[in-house]
Amino acid sequence: MKKKESKKILHELYIELVKLQKEVISSNLKLFVILEGRDAAGKDGTIKRITKHLSPRETRIVALGKPSDREEMEWYFQRYASHLPISGEFVLFNRSWYNRAGVEKVMGFCNEKEYKSFFKEVELFEEMLVDAGFTILKYYLDISREEQEARLKDRRDDPLKQWKISPIDREALRYWKDYSNARDEMLTRTNFKNIPWFVINADNKREARIAIISHLLHQLKYHNKDVKLVSEDYGLVYPVTDKSIKEKLF
């Protein structure tokens, strides 16, 4: 996709996102989107595009840092629950409670008991949210090892991206296989029937952003939807299945 063409499509999708937000506000919906993925997978940039023209009063981005001493004493989901959307609000989680099944598992920030308990509790937690009227969409941004290495190098070299560098980033390539195994386990065990995962091939940032926004809009109901626009299949987003995990993931 050429840059000029992608800019045109993205502008049209921005209009659809504004329509969606009007629906969220007028219908008192509680919408949130979870974005997970490897370090440098493009979560920040995707969220930036999704929220670019949305109302800051009814849109929030949640990107939690290391838990405080008090938060470590809480029920695991408690610190995330306090950031859930209220009626009429659209919230995007840049990483979420799925940290436990990814970073925390790989880096040893949780023990085996906590890891196993997570899988017992997360389905009940998410089902409870759906029963309470929340709308949940879950996306995993997948990139190749070569692309991650290039993006991490760019972060180190670009002075405007220094804030993105963390100790965890420095370990990303070293633990590539461990992250792959943790990802596959997470996607397999938490791909719930009513709250499924969708995976995005995010090696091409520009096309991946368009694909995610289009797919997100296609999943939701709102007035005056441009069905043709948001039904476009860019071949980058796919549901989680045993076959897709085995054959499509990097």
pLDDT-derived band of residue 12, with 50, 70 and 90 as boundaries?
Answer: very high
* Residue 189 token pair: 């065990």
How far apart CA 162 and CA 184 sit, in angstroms, is: 30
Confidence of residue 156 (pLDDT cuts 50, 70, 90): confident
Dist. CA 53–CA 106, nearest whole Å: 36
pLDDT digits (tens, 9 = 90+) for 185-243: 999 999 999 999 999 999 999 999 999 999 999 999 999 999 999 999 899 999 999 99
| Long-range CB contacts for residues 120-127, cutoff 8 Å, separation at least 24 | 121/76, 121/77, 122/77, 122/97, 122/98, 122/190, 123/190, 123/192, 125/77, 125/97, 126/192, 126/195, 127/192, 127/194, 127/195
How far is the C-alpha of 232 from the C-alpha of 226, rounded, in Å? 11
- Please tell me the distance from the alpha carbon of residue 166 to that of residue 194, in angstroms, as a whole number: 35
User: Is the pTM value of this prediction over 0.85?
Assistant: yes
Cα angle vertex 223, ends 233, 44, to 5°?
Answer: 55
Quick one: 94 exposed, middle or buried, by C-beta within 10 A (0-12, 13-18, 19+)?
A: middle
Residue 1 binned pLDDT confidence (cut-offs 50, 70, 90) = confident
The predicted pLDDT at position 29 comes to 98
Question: Where are the chain's structural domains?
Answer: 3-247
CATH number of this structure's domain 3-247? 3.40.50.300
Confidence of residue 169 (pLDDT cuts 50, 70, 90): confident
What lies within 8 Å, CB to CB, of 60 at 6+ separation is 83, 85, 89, 90, 91, 92
Hey, what are 31's tokens? 């919408």
Q: What is the chain's mean pLDDT, rounded?
A: 95
Q: Check residue 2 and give its pLDDT.
A: 87
* Beta-bridge partner residues of 200: 141, 237
Residue 163 predicted with pLDDT over 90: no
